[in-house]
Structure 1
Amino acid sequence: MAANAQDGDFWSRVRFGGGLGLGFGSGYTDVTVAPQAIYQFNDYVALGAGVQFSYVDQRNWYSAMMYGPNAIVLFNPIPQVQLSAEVEQLRVNLDVDAGRYGTEQAYSRDFWNTGLFLGAGYSMQNVTVGVRYNVLYNDNDFVYSQAWMPFVRVYF
């Protein structure tokens, strides 16, 4: 019976969440699905893992599929403040059309991209809104347009 009590205690500390993203514009599509689970050790610390899938397409310019795992550590020094560290490893399949203005040749490139994000946010029950910074950001990484990114995290 003790094992069942421990199992029940474990699952009562697991929370599920993640992110969904949709962006549409003139010839532009961006779809992201990123489920995640965290284990809440106590009121201050949680550790989690997840996966991410993104599809981005800019008509007559490029399209990319990105997918891979991620891990996150959350620290709440007080209930309203959440600090985070995240690492993600994305496989990127990039197809670039002939230059938007006919200035380059079409090509495809498949590569791995690693991101290491440090973040801070304001928490309200299950939701945290904040900003994170990719300390490994590189202008030539073809994945993110800048190092700073806003986020909304929801865990149930």
Structure 2
Amino acid sequence: MRKNNFQRVSKSILVLIVSFISNGLFAQQQSNTPRSSTDFWNHVQIGGGIGLGFGSGYTDISLTPSAIYNFNEYVALGLGVQYSYVSQKNYYNSHLYGGSLIALFNPIREIQLSAELEELRVNINPNDPAYVREGFWNTGLFLGAGYRSNNVTIGVRYNVLQDDNKGVYSDAFMPFVRVYF
């Protein structure tokens, strides 16, 4: 059942991404002059995030760089990587790493809609030898909306593939701050 839902959602997101790409390509101004390599880099933005969380015996450190290509003022596609270290004193430590594909759509300047497919490898190392080490892949498909001001977007995203029984995230809704330069 979950695999069928994943396939259906994956096909839908693929159609959405292809639509964004084709819309962006057809919206480009046609010119007889060849594009230079610097023209490509004029459409690229680099960004990402750094996360630090500390509590009573708890540590969460993450680094998530990404880059997007702006096809026009409405559509952008990009790639990202992620690494996180999470530790709960006397319980476990874990390493999460992987990548993501992101599609951004700005129907108006202040509103940004997003779709992000994320694949993370999760390795959990319990501190108690009675528990077994665990490793698994976690797939997330996030649909989001946010308020955009210049290079910063603040919003919320929803993981449509959230599995409360086994997964990385405790909730399907997640706030985000997205920054690109």
User: What is the DSSP-based 3-state SS (H/G/I as helix, E as strand, rest coil) of the residue aligned with 2:158?
Assistant: strand
Q: 1:97·1:107 contact (CA, 8 Å) conserved in 2?
A: no
User: What is the DSSP-based 3-state SS (H/G/I as helix, E as strand, rest coil) of the residue aligned with 2:135?
Assistant: strand
Alignment of 1:2-151 (within 5 A): 5-98=35-128, 105-151=130-176
The percent identity for this pair of structures is: 61
Q: Structure 2: 5+ residue runs without aligned partners? A: 1-32
CA positional deviation for 1:24: 0.7
Code of the residue aligned with 1:76 in structure 2: it is: N
Cα distance in 2, alignment partners of residues 120 and 141 from structure 1: 25
Cα distance in 1, alignment partners of residues 84 and 113 from structure 2: 25
Cα distance in 1, alignment partners of residues 171 and 161 from structure 2: 11
Structure 2 counterpart of 1:152:
177
Task: Indicate the RMSD between aligned Cα atoms, in angstroms.
Answer: 1.4
> Stretches of 4+ moved more than 3 A in 1?
none
Structure with the higher strand share, 1 or 2: 1
Cα distance in 2, alignment partners of residues 93 and 130 from structure 1: 29
Code of the residue aligned with 1:149 in structure 2: it is: M
Cα distance in 2, alignment partners of residues 142 and 64 from structure 1: 13
Count of aligned residue pairs for this structure pair: 149
TM-score (norm 2): 0.79
Cα distance in 1, alignment partners of residues 170 and 90 from structure 2: 19
Q: Structure 1: 5+ residue runs without aligned partners? A: 99-104
Cα distance in 2, alignment partners of residues 9 and 131 from structure 1: 32
